[in-house]
Amino acid sequence: MESKRRRPTEAELAILRVLWDGKAQTVRAIQQELNASRQTQRQLLGDLMNRAFGGSVKALVLQALAAKKSSPEELEAMEKLLDRIEGGKK
């Protein structure tokens, strides 16, 4: 019997990308590189949301969902995120 191979998570792949680029060798340096990447993504997303969607999160998300069919795994991750956000508001 052949065992199923586990695929790396997105977080694991992000760490590997930092290592493959040779940008960091310590845990602290890897964390700093990952944080810098996330800050850049947030800045770009915020700028796009403001400029293209008038600051509307709803419009941005609906357009993103309409642009490409989401996989069942992506939809499940979105549902979990929404559940977590809604749980925090109660």
Domain boundary assignment for the chain: 8-55, 56-90
Tell me which H or E stretch contains 87. Answer: helix 72-89
Q: What's the Cα-to-Cα distance from 23 to each of 1, 8, 14, 57, 63, rounded to whole Å?
A: 40, 20, 12, 33, 34
pLDDT beyond 60 at 50:
yes
pLDDT of residue 89: 63
Residue of 33, 68, 64 lying closest to 48 (CA atoms): 64
Residue-averaged pLDDT of the chain = 88
pLDDT of residue 73: 92
The length of the chain in residues reads: 90
